[in-house]
Amino acid sequence: MTVEPPWLRAARPVLIACGLFAIWQGVVALTALPPYILPGPTRVAVAWFEHRVIIAEHAVLTAGEILLGLVLGTTLGCASAIIMTAFRPARLWLLPVLVVSQAVPVFALAPLLVLWFGYGMASKVAMATLIIFFPVTAAFHDGLRRTDPGWLDMARAMNAGRWATLHHVRLPAALPALASGLRVATAVAPIGAVVGEWVGSSAGLGYLMLHANARMQVDVMFAALLTLAVMAVVLYFTIDTLLRRALPWQPDSHPTDD
């Protein structure tokens, strides 16, 4: 079995970032595209440093929208999954509605959400909540339904009621599935906030990118985009780390190299 050196594990993000920037710089050099179409990483870094205060202000607002959407979407998703599991009539009515709701592109709802909730943070949080809601609900509901039958038989043998079985058997067994849904939700959470900012907003990284694009400040647009990407990656790995620590009984089972 090959053991990865600790220094390589710590240096991997830096090495990946350096590799991506090297590829980016190579594409710029080979294509010789003008900076207003594809600026190089150096130019983008300079633009980020020059506009770091403005970018940081917009990034804080977008981060708040993403986090609020993640909390609300997760809460509503978990509640819906539990209701559908505990009450069969609710499942028969709610599950088709959830499936049909996914047939409507969430992006098409953005103008309506801006119209209903205004140009402030509420419409962006609602957009992020809608995107996060379905993967959390689907994953958690699937985990609750697929509880080991042996555990359920043991609960019945101990005369456990429906709510006791749900609380002590189904919920713990479904946590790994919920964790998978949360990882997917975390990855797509920034989409809702940014799309909402594109449709109608006066602040946020999405607004800043549109504003920079209209003024042909492509380097600033790239700087805002990279900031959003870094935020998304940090959020994902933070949630992933917290989930791994919260579920220590669910170890990774990746194949090892001999």
- Report in angstroms the alpha-carbon separations of 90 from 86, 95, 103, 130: 8, 8, 21, 20
pTM here? 0.81
CATH topology for the 39-246 domain = MetI-like fold (1.10.3720)
Distance CA 36, CA 19 (A): 23
Q: What is the pLDDT of residue 1?
A: 47
Q: What is the pLDDT of residue 258?
A: 46
Sign, Cα dihedral of 224, 229, 230, 231:
positive
Tens of pLDDT, residue by residue, the chain (258 residues): 455 666 666 677 777 878 888 888 888 888 888 888 888 888 888 888 988 899 999 999 999 999 999 999 999 988 988 888 877 777 777 777 777 766 777 777 777 887 888 778 888 888 888 888 888 888 888 888 887 677 666 777 776 666 777 666 777 878 888 888 889 888 888 888 888 888 777 788 888 988 888 888 888 999 999 999 899 989 988 988 888 888 776 655 554 444
Q: What is the pLDDT of residue 254?
A: 52
Contact 85, 144 (CB under 8 A): yes
Q: What is the pLDDT of residue 252?
A: 59
For 191-246, the DSSP string reads: HHHHHHHHHS-SSSHHHHHHHHHHTT-HHHHHHHHHHHHHHHHHHHHHHHHHHHHH
